[in-house]
Amino acid sequence: MKGRRLYLDGVSVVFDGFRALNNLALIVEPGELRAVIGPNGAGKTTMMDVITGKTRPTEGVVSFGDADLTRLDEAAIANLGIGRKFQKPTVFDALTVFENLELALKAPRGPLPCLRWALTGEAKSRIGATLREIGLEERAQDPAAILSHGQRQWLEIGMLLMQDPDLLLVDEPVAGMTDAETEHTARLLAGIAGRRSVVVVEHDLDFVRALNCRVTVLAEGSLLSEGSIDHVQKDERVIEVYLGR
Ligand code: ADP
């Protein structure tokens, strides 16, 4: 197993006196798959922004292995092996599926420039393995522009995998997907975990159940509950603030 422990403790983010995160604690072990849920405004995006260096915490500890992430900029954090996928897929429409993976493989970690390179046999075999992993082997020579919404999301996950991250942060991957695409995505992310840590922010509780992993519930910038999906769904505080029942 590859990877380092993600550790957040006492993390607060204050915007103009408003606490978007309030004394948040989170530990994700190497190879762990973790789902993070919570109502709108709970602080899920701010948590991802703090891990990737997009937002500096006002106070608290954010570390990945030995590295203090509060002292690093976004590029340095990406270079440590922390990849982030935003909700909207950002793939290169004019390139084929294969070429998108090739680009991600050759580029420095982080946001991608649009360049082309000659391919070695080793690169081809890594791209082939990722095409199989994301389930797009048959679509390798198709332009990304003609993929379905779900396939574009998987391609982007594949592009992140080409950059060999230790920790993958995935923001609402199944929004707008069909049931079959949602199931495929759950299998894909569960298969990636173990070799890498994966943190998934998601609203769809059926999908979170399918991930079959530890669930963290945020509310008002703080940790509200943590445990299996059955545990958190029975927690009175979660029912009150999140499920509204
Ligand atoms: P979630 O992703 O769980 O919906 P966010 O992390 O986006 O929650 O937001 C948490 C809270 O912080 C929200 O009330 C939001 O309005 C506020 N917030 C987020 N970013 C900023 C910002 N740059 N300036 C002021 N308030 C912000």
pLDDT tens per residue across span 30-54: 999 999 999 999 999 999 999 999 9
139 within a domain of the structure (yes/no): yes
pLDDT in tens, 69-116: 999 999 999 999 999 998 887 888 878 899 889 988 887 777 665 444
In this structure, what are the phi and psi dihedrals at residue 226, rounded to the nearest 5 degrees?
A: -150, 140
**Residue 224 lies inside a defined structural domain of this protein:** yes
Could you report the per-residue pLDDT of 73-86, keeping only the tens digit for each? 999 999 999 999 98
Residue the block writes with tokens 């990304």: 144
Render the burial of 154-176: b for 16+ CB within 10 Å, e for the rest: bbbbbbbbbbebbbbbbbbbbee
Ligand 1 pocket, mutate which of 15, 170, 241 (most atoms under 8 A from CB): 15
Atom of ligand 1 nearest to the CA of 49: 6
- Neighbour-count burial for 70-93, b at 16+ CB within 10 Å, e otherwise: eebeeeebbebbbbbbeeebebbe
Report residue 120's pLDDT band, with 50, 70 and 90 as the boundaries. Answer: low
* pLDDT score for 83: 93
Task: Give the contacts of 110 (CB within 8 A, at least 6 positions apart).
Answer: 74, 75, 78, 79
Out of 11, 46, 170, 217, give the residue to mutate to test ligand 1, the one with the largest number of ligand atoms within 8 Å of its CB. 46
Query: Binning pLDDT at 50, 70 and 90, where does residue 141 land?
Result: very high
Q: Atom 26 of ligand 1 has which residue's CA nearest to it?
A: 15
- CB-ligand 1 contact for 45 (6 Å cutoff): yes
Q: Tell me, what's the pLDDT at 123?
A: 80
Q: What is the CATH number of the domain that holds 194?
A: 3.40.50.300
Work out the pLDDT band at 243, boundaries 50, 70, 90.
low
Q: Is 110 left (phi over 0), alpha (psi -120 to 50) or beta?
A: left
Per the domain annotation, does 115 fall within a domain? Answer: yes
Q: To the nearest whole percent, how much of the chain has pLDDT over 90?
A: 76
> Tell me, what's the pLDDT at 111?
61
Asked whether 18 lines ligand 1 (CB < 6 A), one says yes
Which pLDDT score, from 0 to 100, does residue 19 have? 95
108 occurs within a structural domain: yes
The range of the structural domain enclosing residue 150 comes to 6-243
- With a 6 Å cutoff on the Cβ, whether 121 touches ligand 1 is no
Query: Which atom of ligand 1 is the closest one to the Cα of 48?
Result: 6
pLDDT score recorded for residue 115: 47
| Tokens found for residue 178 | 């069909």
Q: What pTM did the predictor assign?
A: 0.83
Domain count, the chain: 1
Look up residue 157 and give its two tokens.
């996950």
Which of 12, 5, 11 has its CA nearest to residue 66?
Answer: 5
Q: What is the DSSP letter of 118?
A: P
Residue 113's pLDDT is 52
Please tell me if the CB atom of residue 120 comes closer than 6 angstroms to any atom of ligand 1. Answer: no
Judge whether 1 lies within some domain: no
Terminal alpha carbon distance of the chain: 40
Q: What is the pLDDT of residues 199-233, one digit of tens each?
A: 999 988 899 999 999 999 999 999 999 999 999 99
Q: Tokens in use for 103?
A: 């680009």
CB atoms closer than 10 angstroms to residue 199: 26
- pLDDT, residue 245, reads 46
Three-state DSSP class for residue 218: strand
Q: What is the mean pLDDT of the chain?
A: 90
